[in-house]
Structure 1
Amino acid sequence: MNEPEALTRQSLTANGTSDNDLRNSLRTGALVMLARGVYLRRADYDALDEAGHHRVRARFAGSRLGPDEAISHVSAAVLHDLDIWKVPLTRVHVSRPRRSGRVTAHLHAHPTAWDEGDLVTVRGVAVTSVARTVVDLARTLPRDQAVAIGDSALRLHPNAGPQLARALERARHRTGTTAAASVLEFLDGRSESVGESLSRIRMRESGLPAPDLQREVVVRDGRRYRLDFFWDGHGIVGEFDGNIKYRDRRDILAEKRREDALRDLGLEVVRWNWAELDRFEVVAGRFARAVARARGRNAVSAR
């Protein structure tokens, strides 16, 4: 990934920018301040999203760490390209062997102890490993955010799976390990988006049975479809419409053909969107009605 490097007063001055030039560039918006003394050119800033801005800041902070320090927590998750959902990115997080931490406007330093395998190098800076990062966040974040990050970690880095238990064991004397153990038990790398991860959480909270994920089915004309969620015993397909508002007419028609083909197999299709994740009882009601319809059809066909 080719991302811009952070600019500093020193680097700008070395290239002939005076203090007056710097002030004018900030005033006109040609430069954007990411943190005190850290800048990006406007075009580079506009080309990045919030995670991209944080990634630039984290790389800059990482380049200035001591030999026993590393980028950690959500900043490490950003550098590992994990899914970040509703986690504040105001501060860059670092961990270091100290007895106490430190929090400023732009930095959160966590006291820690390192174990073998905790540290890797990403984009040239020391970063906590995927497994250590997932465990640290599972200990400290709300469940929704922790599961979204953990699912994406297993999806993007499947080899990290066996390391999670060891990372949790090494964290046994830190706060939040009970919550972390519950999160790790629930993770599934087959979830392909934040919305699918949140959907699984809502299903469990609503008492719905656990579905199979990414099941492939072959419809009557030979086409193959992969299903977000499938309840084989009920003959019900679950589909999360995360990007429905961005679809054009061709996408909508293709989705209709897909749904018709699934219904032609005798399957019920239950759909939901982002807004309904916050009122999942609506989706649970749809599921219950789909179960009733499927049972009714099966009773008729058995006569």
Structure 2
Amino acid sequence: MPWFEPAPEDAGLLRRRHLVLVEDPALVDKALRRKQVVRIHRGIYKEGEAPDDWERAWSACATVGGCDAVASHRTAARVLGIEVPDGGPDEVTIPRAERRIHRADLRFHTSVLASDDVVDLNGLRITSVARTLVDLCRTEEEYRAVWAVERALARELVTTTALDAALERCRGVPGVKRARLLIGRARPLSQSPLETAGRLALVDDGLEEPEVQMPIRRADGREALVDLAYREQRRGLEFDGRSEHGMEMAVFEDRTRENQIVLRDITILRFTWFDVFRRRPQYLRTVREAIGA
């Protein structure tokens, strides 16, 4: 339809106020019902197909109105390739003096952002990788935030120097002490969110921090990595994720690998999501008994 013409400054997206200037509002609503256009955020639409992460972030900022908004937190993380859970409302940061009521699809944060904490990504104002990770560590569940930092470091999306600088710029910002603590707990060798959660639970319970991805020579001569290990006590902890280990071949390979490790006089304790999150006291007690703590 010829009237689906985005304004040049609108990144290929459509604003309702532009649409109703050139067409009857009832026809705009009909186009929405027919899914010729899809709503992204209040007053922001896209023709035909669902928006990508960048378009969602751009529309989240554009729908605010009245002040400068910067894509941040989970919304920024998705655009920047930082691993965070799917779903939930988009998030933007606005100046501290502004006030906005949260919407079902949009959450507002207020903060003073230094120039080094904001980057321009093809016309989208978005928090830098370092500032985004600091914000996640201020607001997200502990193991999710630490895992996001671990993956970003492992993939070289950010450096520890950049994280330290972002923390320094955030002095006085609520939650920055927590962010500093969680960033300090990140171990880039970690291979899964469950492994990270299991390690953090042990440390929070006062146990010595286990070694991450400890290498060991198997009985058949090949090298293996144990998820978490107490080297001196010769105890290893292995964590079964929800998807990979639900497959028969993955389970078979794990058992073969585990048997080879045991033959090297390393006792393997195996845990699942259910153990770490739903039966945490039993998980902690089992590990304590195993290492004689």
| TM-score between the two structures when normalised by the length of structure 2 | 0.77
- Does the C-alpha gap of structure 1 residues 136 and 217 become closer, same or farther in structure 2, counting only changes over 3 Å? same
**Offset, 1:267:** 0.6
SS in 2 for 1:187: coil
2:204 corresponding residue in structure 1: 205
2:39 corresponding residue in structure 1: 33
Distance 1:11 1:193 in 2: 45
- Could you tell which deviates more after superposition, 53-62 or 213-222? 53-62
1:100 corresponding residue in structure 2: 98
CA contact (8 A) 2:230 2:291 kept: no
2:71 corresponding residue in structure 1: 71
1:256 corresponding residue in structure 2: 255
- Does the C-alpha gap of structure 1 residues 218 and 174 become closer, same or farther in structure 2, counting only changes over 3 Å? same
Task: Name the aligned partner's letter for residue 290 of structure 2.
Answer: A
Distance 1:30 1:253 in 2: 48
Distance 1:58 1:206 in 2: 38
1:216 corresponding residue in structure 2: 215
CA contact (8 A) 2:230 2:236 kept: yes
Distance 2:132 2:58 in 1: 16
Matches within 5 A, 1:145-160: 145-157=144-156, 159-160=158-159
Q: Are residue 139 (structure 1) and residue 113 (structure 2) matched? A: no
- Does the C-alpha gap of structure 1 residues 148 and 63 become closer, same or farther in structure 2, counting only changes over 3 Å? same
Matches within 5 A, 1:1-303: 7-8=13-14, 23-24=29-30, 26-27=32-33, 32-39=38-45, 44-45=49-50, 55-62=54-61, 69-85=69-85, 89-96=88-95, 98-105=96-103, 106-122=105-121, 124-157=123-156, 159-243=158-242, 247-278=246-277, 279-291=279-291
SS in 1 for 2:207: coil
Distance 1:238 1:192 in 2: 13
**Offset, 1:162:** 1.4
**Offset, 1:269:** 0.8
Any unmatched runs of 5+ in structure 2? 1-10
Identity of matched residues, %: 25
Distance 1:249 1:141 in 2: 33
**Offset, 1:182:** 2.0
Distance 1:167 1:112 in 2: 14
- Does the C-alpha gap of structure 1 residues 134 and 285 become closer, same or farther in structure 2, counting only changes over 3 Å? same
**Offset, 1:241:** 0.8
SS in 2 for 1:150: helix
Distance 1:68 1:30 in 2: 30
**Offset, 1:257:** 0.6
C-alpha deviations, 1:44-94, integer Å up to 9, x for none? 54xxxxxx86654113345789996531222212222222248x7313313
| TM-score between the two structures when normalised by the length of structure 1 | 0.75
Distance 1:123 1:220 in 2: 53
**Offset, 1:191:** 2.1
C-alpha deviations, 1:106-134, integer Å up to 9, x for none? 44444433335212234552211121112
Distance 1:11 1:259 in 2: 62
Distance 1:249 1:134 in 2: 36
Distance 1:230 1:206 in 2: 16
- Does the C-alpha gap of structure 1 residues 207 and 244 become closer, same or farther in structure 2, counting only changes over 3 Å? farther
Distance 1:118 1:182 in 2: 20
- Does the C-alpha gap of structure 1 residues 159 and 266 become closer, same or farther in structure 2, counting only changes over 3 Å? same
Task: Name the aligned partner's letter for residue 235 of structure 2.
Answer: I
CA contact (8 A) 2:38 2:46 kept: yes
Superposed CA RMSD in Å reads 3.5
CA contact (8 A) 1:155 1:192 kept: no
C-alpha deviations, 1:183-202, integer Å up to 9, x for none? 22212222233222222221
- Could you tell which deviates more after superposition, 153-162 or 227-236? 153-162
- Does the C-alpha gap of structure 1 residues 237 and 246 become closer, same or farther in structure 2, counting only changes over 3 Å? closer
C-alpha deviations, 1:278-298, integer Å up to 9, x for none? 222222233244336xxxxxx
